[in-house]
Amino acid sequence: MAKQQQVVIVGGGVIGLLTAFNLAPHVQSVTLLDRSHVGQESSWAGGGIVSPLYPWRYSPAVTALAHWSQDFYPQLAQRLFAATGIDPEVHTTGLYWLDLEDEAQALAWARRENRPLSPVDVCAVRDAVPVLGKGFSRAIYMANVANVRNPRLVKSLKAALLALPNVTVHEQCEVSGFIREGERVVGVQGPDGPIHGDHVVLTAGAWSGELLKTLGLTLPVEPVKGQMILYKCASDFLPSMVLAKGRYAIPRRDGHILIGSTLEHEGYDKTPTENALESLKASAVELIPELAQAQVVGHWAGLRPGSPEGIPYIGAVPGVDGLWLNCGHYRNGLVLAPASCQLFADVLLARTPVIDPAPYAPAGRI
């Protein structure tokens, strides 16, 4: 692709930010637009575990992106920290899964995929995580699982983009539709008028389907609400991530502990609810009884971009020249971002792709 191409990216979550970061060295200009402030939706609200919650329950398409990203995250964080002075805090703590119903499938998957997941005696788990609740009898463990401090990742990516001379970031810039010439999309309609580009990339998460409707296209991406709570403890209080019954506890380096999360189909409503607060507190105390004495210092909700099987849409929109998708990552946007955005750049720039792009191609799926 010629270096003089201009790219417009609609949506400034981690997927949009990293797409811009990957494309910027290879194109003339990148314009990134966000309807509010970058990274304030799903990217800010997530937990940041650099693994699908139950990786063995996903298709090979999700697994391929997850593995590439997990291996790449430490160097991405290092590169961003060096460039911006803002550390995304990729924190490798390992992850314990407790009392799994499908433990046998998990271990079979790990053998097949050559991942370091193994059974651990529950007494050894209590030695490693003394604050763990008493009600668990079985555990499996993966040592190399990290979490990324997603709000810091967003800040770091934004700072890196603002330092690039050919990147423009417009916040509070809601796109209402696309500008077309014949079958080709040549830009978007912003609040202050048209913004033109040779390529328009839709990275608008849960809002991507709404925008595609303006072209008469149906994208099966829908908002799925997730609520989280946050505690503040001593920095060495919880040495590892733990997960049971679909709920998890994630330690940050400074002692913040995230507990999540709910799965709710409530449209675009992001209001935190009392019911979810009580349910999350109950899960927190079941996992870590000492949290009964701790104060909840945060409670929020975000909207995940739900998609069939959680397989994102990465590539060109069929029948609409100039329009591209990188969206629909459901629960795994932060996990899959490095691979998704590398693959996207490869496809747009017509390079040899890092992963087979076929499972993610929008053609035949929208």
Q: Render pLDDT for 7-64 as a digit per residue (tens, 0 to 9).
A: 999 999 999 999 999 999 999 999 999 999 999 999 999 999 999 999 999 999 999 9
Q: What tens digit of pLDDT does each residue of 157-206 get?
A: 999 999 999 999 999 999 999 999 999 999 999 999 999 999 999 999 99
Under a CB-based contact definition with an 8 Å cutoff, are residues 41 and 65 in contact?
no
Tokens of 102: 């499908």
Under a CB-based contact definition with an 8 Å cutoff, are residues 137 and 103 in contact?
no
Radius of gyration of the chain (CA): 21
Under a CB-based contact definition with an 8 Å cutoff, are residues 333 and 8 in contact?
no
- Return d(Cα 265, Cα 192) in angstroms, integer: 33
Tokens of 305: 């971009």
Q: Where are the domains of the chain?
A: 6-46+152-220+309-360, 95-143+222-306
Could you tell me which CATH number the domain at 95-143+222-306 has?
Answer: 3.30.9.10
Q: How many residues does the chain have?
A: 366
Q: What tens digit of pLDDT does each residue of 220-231 get?
A: 999 999 999 999
Burial class (CB in 10 A: 0-12, 13-18, 19+), 13: buried
| Percent of the chain with pLDDT strictly greater than 70 | 99
Q: How many CA atoms lie within 13 A of 292 on its CB side?
A: 10
- Return d(Cα 87, Cα 91) in angstroms, integer: 11
Under a CB-based contact definition with an 8 Å cutoff, are residues 177 and 202 in contact?
no
366 contact partners, CB below 8 Å, separation of at least 6: 212, 217, 218, 219, 220, 313, 317, 318
Q: What is the pLDDT of residue 126?
A: 97
Distance of CA 90 to the CA centre of its chain: 14
Neighbours of 317 (CB within 10 A): 21
- Return d(Cα 178, Cα 323) in angstroms, integer: 9
Tokens 């995929």, residue? 113
Buried-state track 269-302, b at ≥16 Cβ within 10 A, e below 16? ebebbeebeeebbebbbbbbebbeebeeeebebb
CA neighbor of 8 nearest in space, from 203, 160, 191: 203
For 328, phi and psi rounded to 5 degrees? 80, 35
Q: What is the pLDDT of residue 51?
A: 96
DSSP state of 63: H
Tokens 């190399």, residue? 144
Q: What tens digit of pLDDT does each residue of 343-361 get?
A: 999 999 999 999 999 999 9
Q: What is the pLDDT of residue 2?
A: 54
Pairing type for strands 167-170 and 29-33 reads parallel
Buried-state track 132-151, b at ≥16 Cβ within 10 A, e below 16? bbeebeebbbbeebbbbbbb
Q: Across the chain, how many H-helices and E-strands are there?
A: 9, 19
Tokens 């160097």, residue? 75
Under a CB-based contact definition with an 8 Å cutoff, are residues 304 and 333 in contact?
yes
Give the pLDDT mean for 96-112: 97
- Return d(Cα 325, Cα 298) in angstroms, integer: 33
- Return d(Cα 11, Cα 173) in angstroms, integer: 10
Tokens 């005696």, residue? 121
Helix or strand run (H / E) with residue 216: none
Tokens of 119: 């059974």
Tokens of 267: 């449209």
Q: Which fold has domain 6-46+152-220+309-360?
A: FAD/NAD(P)-binding domain (3.50.50)
Q: What tens digit of pLDDT does each residue of 275-306 get?
A: 999 999 999 999 999 999 999 999 999 999 99
Q: What is the pLDDT of residue 4?
A: 76
- Return d(Cα 226, Cα 209) in angstroms, integer: 19
